[in-house]
Amino acid sequence: MSPVAVVVGPPGAGKTTIGTALAEALGVAFRDTDADIVETVGKSISDIFTDGGEAAFRAAEEEAVAVALREHDGVLSLGGGAVLSEKSRKLLAEHTVVFLNVGMAEGVRRTGLSTARPLLAGVNPRAKFKELLDARLPLYREIASVEVDTDTKSPDEIVSQLATVLNRGE
């Protein structure tokens, strides 16, 4: 079993929005590893970060990604930092990975610098967002089969483009 597509990208890229709509367009199920983590651990992501720190969350995330890649055959959305794990990146090399790219200004606008996103909380969330983009962009591109710039496209345009690409097997 293998996902039709694995959706990755930074906060605000639209992984859940695009992933859900893409799954619907392709007639397959949608799954989100962040939701899997919350269900498995029994705590919100913010609480996992608060109680166990980023390391505890990343360990749970790495396991959730491995399980979902084995079990799910629809569209799978990963948390923005899942690509930080070398183990997860190696597993993703065997799959069709859709990288939803978002620029800093648009990503900041979309996330609203939400305190529900633990890694963006703090004194200077814009600087933190830039730091995340700088660190993760090469990793997203390393594993991506397809890259889509989401800054100027509507979700419908992105889903249409991806459905065409995925149906052709590109």
Binding residues: 12-17, 34, 58, 80, 117, 136
Binding residues for Mg(2+): 16
At position 18, the amino acid (one-letter code) is I
Binding residues for substrate: 34, 58, 80, 136
28: DSSP letter: -
Three-state DSSP class for residue 149: strand
Query: How many Å apart are CA 61 and CA 91, to the nearest integer?
Result: 13
Strand ranges of the sheet holding 146-149, from the earlier edge strand across to the other edge:
30-32, 75-77, 5-8, 97-101, 146-149
Binding residues for ATP: 12-17, 117
